[in-house]
Amino acid sequence: MLVRNWRAVLRYAWTVRLAIVIALLNALAITVSIITGALVMPPIWLAVLNGVLGFAVAMARLVDQALGGRDDAE
């Protein structure tokens, strides 16, 4: 079941933004490696970047997010 203000969450939540960044970076790395046969960066740095961003998503989930000035009580 979706939260009542799912549109605001989708638009303003940092967890969603960070998850999209992770997905885009992974897609970029895979696309470049398929086209050129080489990774953009060494695999260890790609793994570290994914780990850091994944941790940031988890931590952002714990932070109170204003969601563009909208209150959950509405």
pLDDT 10s digits, 12-57? 888 888 899 889 988 888 888 888 887 767 778 878 888 898 898 8
pLDDT at position 62 = 80
pLDDT tops 70 at residue 63? yes
pTM strictly above 0.75 = no
Quote the DSSP letter at residue 35.
Answer: H
What local confidence, expressed as pLDDT, does residue 74 receive? 43
For residue 2, how far is the Cα from the chain centroid? 19
Q: Which two tokens stand for residue 46?
A: 């790609």
Calculate mean pLDDT across residues 3-15. 85
Contacts of 57 (CB under 8 A, 6+ apart): 15, 18, 19, 22
Nearest CA-CA partner of 68 in 10, 4, 2, 1: 10
